[in-house]
């Protein structure tokens, strides 16, 4: 004969027992599920949770930092190509700049985030709260393709898009400022050395010009020619010619050494000046010109649908959780009732 099940006549949940349990307590579980779903829908509404909208910007860093090296170098390498995307090192640098307080402080001032986030300006921990909300609502991460994604959450969809685009724009400003500070100092150093050498060359050329005015034009060739002519005049016995040539030799002896020294130094310094001039022009470009420091793959736009909270997930998870907890609670009550009846029955039998 087939055994008849009672609602409380199961000890373990096999498939049959589970089915009997759910059928027996179906009304209770349905009520629990409906109440949980209604409460979850209510408490996940905009009355209790502020809806947030998401906007994102995707950037690629550039590979080159120096404009002069990328554009003016005679033999530019592949890494100095201004059209080349950055690698891992440039991506890490971009993330560090985006996370800097310089960008955060400028965005806070521009959009008055203290007021926008409804932080009491008289609060003792106003900055702590501001920075906490900044880190919660604004994130920077590296994508799988070595790009950087800026994500902004805000209750105002237009504000979220504006903040994301502003952060993207500020990256160039901050990086250019950092580089220009160093580039300007480097340009000043090269400029001073270039102008100093240029003035030194001008002074030496002036001295050399004065020596040439004395009659020394080319010490070696003049000395050789005068000595040859002196030998001829001596052979002829021309005393006046000999005396004139000796005077020229004395002039060469007086100014020849200075002439040779100045000439050789000028030759060397003009080579240095040519090198410094190239460095001067490159440093001037780096100090005065700028190039975009990123490739914008995707700009932020005003979101049409909220990203948080996702109400259907909250309702689903809350309902399932309530059903599981309700079932566990019913099982506990059920087992407690069975044990209580067994003890009561045993006590009655012993008494009789």
Q: What is the pLDDT of residue 82?
A: 66
Task: Please state whether 218 falls in left (phi above 0), alpha (psi between -120 and 50) or beta.
Answer: beta
Closest listed residue to residue 174, CA positions, set 104, 113, 114, 111 = 104
Q: What is the pLDDT of residue 140?
A: 95
Closest listed residue to residue 211, CA positions, set 262, 267, 264 = 262
Are 52 and 307 in contact, with CB atoms under 8 Å apart?
Answer: yes
Are 73 and 106 in contact, with CB atoms under 8 Å apart?
Answer: no
Q: Which residues contact 154 (CB under 8 A, 6 or more apart)?
A: 52, 53, 55, 137, 160, 163
Q: What is the pLDDT of residue 57?
A: 95
| Cis peptide bond prior to 337, omega within 30° of 0 | no
Taking residue 316's Cβ as centre, other Cβ atoms within 10 Å add up to 13
Q: What is the pLDDT of residue 1?
A: 38
Homologous superfamily assigned to 53-185+293-298:
EIF_2_alpha (3.30.70.1130)
pLDDT in tens, the chain (352 residues): 334 444 444 445 455 666 676 677 778 778 888 888 788 777 666 666 678 899 999 999 988 666 666 666 655 454 456 667 778 888 999 999 999 999 999 999 999 999 999 999 888 999 999 999 999 999 999 998 889 999 999 999 999 999 999 999 999 999 988 888 888 998 899 999 999 999 999 998 888 888 887 777 776 777 777 778 778 777 877 788 778 777 777 777 777 778 788 888 888 888 899 888 888 888 888 888 777 888 899 899 998 888 766 667 777 888 888 888 888 887 777 776 655 555 555 545 555 5
Q: What is the pLDDT of residue 11?
A: 47
CA 59 to chain centroid, in Å, comes to 10
The C-alpha atoms of residue 313 and residue 319 are separated, in whole angstroms, by: 10
Cα(first)–Cα(last) distance of the chain, in Å?
A: 32
72-104 burial, b at 16+ Cβ within 10 Å, e below that, comes to: eeeeeeeebeeeebbeeebbeebeebbeeeebb
The C-alpha atoms of residue 146 and residue 235 are separated, in whole angstroms, by: 88
- Six-digit token string for 77: 């390498």
Q: What is the pLDDT of residue 86?
A: 75
Q: Which residues contact 208 (CB under 8 A, 6 or more apart)?
A: 259, 262, 263, 266
Quote the pTM value. 0.67
Question: In the chain, how many H helices and how many E strands?
Answer: 11, 4
Angstrom CA distances, 233 to 227, 248, 344, stand at 10, 14, 154
**Secondary-structure percent of the chain, ordered helix, strand, coil, rounded to 5:** 70, 10, 25
Task: Please state whether 291 falls in left (phi above 0), alpha (psi between -120 and 50) or beta.
Answer: beta
Q: What's the angle, vertex CA 21, arms to CA 17 and CA 27, rounded to 5?
A: 160
Give the three-state DSSP class for 345. Answer: helix
Looking at residue 76, the DSSP 8-state letter turns out to be -
Q: What is the pLDDT of residue 8?
A: 45
Are 205 and 197 in contact, with CB atoms under 8 Å apart?
Answer: no
Q: What is the pLDDT of residue 153?
A: 94
């Amino acid at each position: 004969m087939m055994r008849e099940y009672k609602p409380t006549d199961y000890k373990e949940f096999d498939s049959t027992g589970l089915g009997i349990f759910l059928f027996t307590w179906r009304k209770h579980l349905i009520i629990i599920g409906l109440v949980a779903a209604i409460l979850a829908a209510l408490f996940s509404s905009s009355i209790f949770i502020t809806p947030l909208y998401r906007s994102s910007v995707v950037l690629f860093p550039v590979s080159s930092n120096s404009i002069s090296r990328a554009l003016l170098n005679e033999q530019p390498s592949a890494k100095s190509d201004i059209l080349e995307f950055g690698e891992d090192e440039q991506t890490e640098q971009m993330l560090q700049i985006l996370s800097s307080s310089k960008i955060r402080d400028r965005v806070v001032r521009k959009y008055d985030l203290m007021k926008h986030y409804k932080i009491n300006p008289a609060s003792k921990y106003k900055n702590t709260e501001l920075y906490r909300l900044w880190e919660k609502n604004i994130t920077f991460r590296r994508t799988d393709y070595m790009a950087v994604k800026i994500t902004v959450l805000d209750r105002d969809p237009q504000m979220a898009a504006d903040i994301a685009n502003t952060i993207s724009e500020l990256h160039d400003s901050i990086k250019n400022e950092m580089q220009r500070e160093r580039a300007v100092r480097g340009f000043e150093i090269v400029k001073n050395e270039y102008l100093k050498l240029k003035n030194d060359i001008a002074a030496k050329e002036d001295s050399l010009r004065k020596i040439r005015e004395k009659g020394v034009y080319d010490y070696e060739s003049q000395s050789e020619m005068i000595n040859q002519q002196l030998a001829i005049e001596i052979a002829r016995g021309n005393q006046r010619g000999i005396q004139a040539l000796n005077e020229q030799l004395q002039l060469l002896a007086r100014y020849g050494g200075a002439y040779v020294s100045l000439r050789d130094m000028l030759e060397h310094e003009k080579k240095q000046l040519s090198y410094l001039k190239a460095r001067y022009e490159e440093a001037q470009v780096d100090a005065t010109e700028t190039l975009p420091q990123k490739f914008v793959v995707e700009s932020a736009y005003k979101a049409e649908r909220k990203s948080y909270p996702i109400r259907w997930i909250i309702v689903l998870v809350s309902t399932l959780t309530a059903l599981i907890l309700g079932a566990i609670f019913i099982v506990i009550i059920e087992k407690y009732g069975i044990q209580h009846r067994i003890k009561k029955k045993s006590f009655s039998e012993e008494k009789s």
